[in-house]
Structure 1
Amino acid sequence: MVSFLITLCLFKETVPKRKIVPRPRRARVASTASEDTLVDGKFLLFNEEPVPLRDLFVYPVIISISNYVSIAFLNICMNALVPLFFAMPIEIGGLGLDPPTIGLTMGMYGIGCGTFQALFFSRIVRRYGEKRIFMFGVFTFIPMFAMFPVISLVARHYGLCTRVWILVTIFLSILAVMDLAYGCIFMYITASAPNKRSLGATNGLSQTTVSIARAIGPAMSTSLFSISVEKNILGGYGVYALLCFISVLSLILASMLPAKVWEEKEDCSYHDRTLVSE
């Protein structure tokens, strides 16, 4: 309810209500327009048209969405494994934590992650750039997946000691840093749209595609976790080795992004908006 009220009162609609009015005979037309809108006594002419869906399959859109899918897949696998890892008995590769402890741990992570994003995201991106931050976010999956067996082995030898909780804190801190990559890839996706009238279609395509990855990820990661433990693959840690390998492939894919977010096209057919007064 709080989120709804904030959105209702503070968010600005991207497509404002517009009243179509007849054009006066003496109105001068600066360019061919698909829509005429009266704004503050002036006519606002839009020279942008949404592109067909097939025209969205261009390199900037494809590479941006592909990277979004890769990081969302790795992240959803991580989100499925973390509570499973926390809950499983120490003897089979987990930490054996009870539900209240797991909830408290993840709740503290959520608060810390949100605070970190709000205070430092814009500063970090301005200093290092979107591509570097995104690639670093993808890279963090490699040490995070590698930390699962390390934490498990420490717990097996020493129990739930201070060392384990220090490692868990480091792990969740890295996970919070990884979330910086989401803001960066959203910027790439938004900028990759052919024009502003195609933002909805571009984001819709990205969300549809990433939903498939988010449907596959949890089932695959948890199933592989069970198989790794049951078959004792790499000492029961085979799932983490596979996910580390996928993380490396995702890092290669991330390197294909441009150094700077896609620049807006100068073509007036995409971005030309002209105010014409009577």
Structure 2
Amino acid sequence: MARHSLDVNAPTKAQIPLAQKEPPVTWSSLPHKSQLLILAACRLSEPLSNTCLLPYLYYLIRSLDSDTSKDGHKSSNSSISRRAGLLVAAFALAQFATSMIWARLADRYGRKAVIVYPLVASIIANLGFGFGTTIPKVMFWRLIAGVANGNIGVMRTMTAEIVKEKKYQSRAFLLLPLVFNSGNIAGLALGGLLATPTKSLPWLFGGVKWMERYPFALPTMVNAMVLTFALLLAIGGLKETLPSKVGQRDLGLEVGRRLARLVHRLRAHGYQVLNDDEESKVELSTFPASRPSAPVPSGSLSQSVTLKTKAIAITLAGFTLLPFHNAAFMQLFPIFMSTPLNKNNAKPEAHGFFFTGGLGYDSSTVGLYLSAFGCSGIFLQMFIYPALQARFGTLKIFQFAFTMFPLSYILTPYVLLLEDPTARGTAIAFVLFVQVIARTLAIPSSVILLTNAAPSPKLLGTLHGVGNMLSSLARAVGPALGGWVSAKGMEIGMVGCVWWTYLTGIAVLGVMVSWKMKEGKSPHEREQSLKRKEDD
């Protein structure tokens, strides 16, 4: 009877899965949203500093070129292409040189310090660049900005330390690329609309003397204002995630809490607010899993933990090849759009591979074109990518995205051969849209794949530091080499040379590497699994 009673009261097989079924992951279900949003605001520093100049890069170099002041002749298109490549590469080269330094400093002094102080440097570098009057000066400030933005790996590490469960990864690790895309759009729009404001917006800035003397200062001043707001958020609201530093006194947080309490009192008009004891409890419970835990027993978990594996090497290769051609595209396409149109391209003698010139757009048109199509990337990241990632997996999406890049690069130069303005505009829209979709799907996937390649959470910071260092090197070499190949192509009358050889070649190599990659588990889940095995 007792056995029968137990059988009657026990749940059926159909009931067990229903009881254990978890609700779907949504943006609202993400843990520690306030911390992720502050981190996202800090992430704006790199795209704003790096892309703001792209719409007016052609005109900036032409106005600052020392050759102009010497003999009165404007630089050739090939010379501008070379200088543009070097100017873009300087930023990423400085990132490469300092990525591992920032990672080590973050492991020693904490993550927050390595977020706050570089933000200060980035603000100063933006202002310095905007008021630069020679190529060496703007190159110097580009280097400083690159140094200040070499901490991207630290931000990714903080994301992994804030959100540890794999079910939240698709959205948590999507947030920084989403902000990166948004920052790119904002930077391109600001650079296109606010460069040479006395000419582009004469009804508002006409006759302003300092803007006539420094025509490219206004976009960088707006950047500095946005980053100042992010700096204040980081000082007053960002919490430390380095396990050895969690729980230590933070003067910035204390000031931030007092300001928040004051604002709450002003808005609540008498409603009860948290007292200091209650706030302390909330503060201490923010990152419970990030606190130093008991020593791990010696065994399999503490042995064979290394980054020197074939799987990690292949993952790093795929992670590096993506910015290698994508960064070159971000530099070459605005130059391609700004270069004056060659009217002979539509004639019969311009056929096959040998034709040259550009689209002849001004900086405001370039900025609006690039930023408008970047908006589609935000839509994809927010609403389409999570569903695709849940259905097909991160690696499949990464591989699919890589196959789309060569198509965009091969078709881009042939836009010049279209005579009808409507047809040409449609073609530009198509190649841009293909490239935007590809990078929108590839960038967050590459970060997730790199994170899940880490054999242990202890090596997350190091792995992301190495990844950011290699990525920065690729974003330095890519535009510089791309600018050189583009200049050579223009000299022989083949504007498509850089698109068909360099960009397509790197993209195809990326496709080959992507098919050799494997998708691993979350390092936190892997560590828990090893602990369970040791306990058994």
Give the TM-score normalised by the residue count of structure 2. 0.42
Q: Which residue of 1 aligns with 2:186?
A: none
In structure 2, C-alpha distance between the alignment counterparts of 1:65 and 1:48, rounded to whole Å: 30
| C-alpha separation in 1, matches of 2:370 and 2:506 | 25
**Structure with max Cα Rg:** 2
Which residue type is aligned with residue 118 of structure 1? Answer: M
Q: Percent identity?
A: 23
Q: Which has the higher helix share?
A: 2
In structure 2, C-alpha distance between the alignment counterparts of 1:107 and 1:7, rounded to whole Å: 27
- Mapping of residues 3-82 of structure 1, within 5 Å: 3-4=230-231, 13-16=240-243, 17-18=245-246, 44-47=293-296, 55-82=306-333
RMSD, aligned CA: 3.3
Equivalent of 1:123, from 361, 372, 387? 387
For structure 2, list consecutive stretches of 5 or more residues without a partner in the other structure.
1-227, 249-287, 343-355
2:361 pairs with 1:102: no
Aligned to 1:31: none
2:487 is matched with 226
- 1:237 pairs with 2:500: no
By how many angstroms is 1:104 displaced?
Answer: 1.3
Amino acid at match of 2:395: K
Report the CA distance shift for 1:47/1:108 in structure 2 as closer, same or farther (over 3 A): same
Q: 1:175: Cα distance to partner? A: 2.1
| TM-superposed deviation, 1:58 | 1.3
- In 2, the alpha carbon distance for the partners of 1:144 and 1:70 equals 16
Partner of 2:414: 150
- CA shift at 1:116, angstroms? 2.3
> Residues 225-265 of structure 1, C-alpha deviation per residue, up to 9 Å, x if partnerless?
11112113xx432211112122211110110012x334659
Residue 268 of structure 1: CA displacement? 6.1
Matches within 5 A, 1:170-249: 170-178=430-438, 179-232=440-493, 235-242=494-501, 243-249=503-509
Q: How many residues align?
A: 246
- Partner residue, 1:261: 520
**How has the CA–CA distance of structure 1 residues 87 and 124 changed in structure 2, closer, same or farther, with 3 Å as cutoff?**
same
Q: Is residue 2:341 matched to residue 1:90?
A: yes
Aligned to 1:25: none
Residue aligned with 2:294, SS: strand
Shift of 1:19: 6.8
When residues 56 and 82 of structure 1 are mapped into structure 2, their CA distance, relative to the original with a 3 A threshold, is same
Check 1:270–1:198 CA distance in 2 against 1; reply closer, same or farther (3 A cut). Answer: farther
What is the SS of the residue equivalent to 1:89? coil
Unaligned runs of 5+ in 1: 21-38, 274-278
3-state SS of the aligned residue for 2:476? helix
TM-score computed with the length of structure 1 as normaliser: 0.77
How far does residue 201 in structure 1 lie from its aligned partner after superposition? 0.3
1:2-43: CA deviation from partner (whole Å, max 9, x where unpaired): 5446656776643354579xxxxxxxxxxxxxxxxxx79x99
Q: Which residue of 2 aligns with 1:34?
A: none
Distance 1:256 1:95, change over 3 A: same
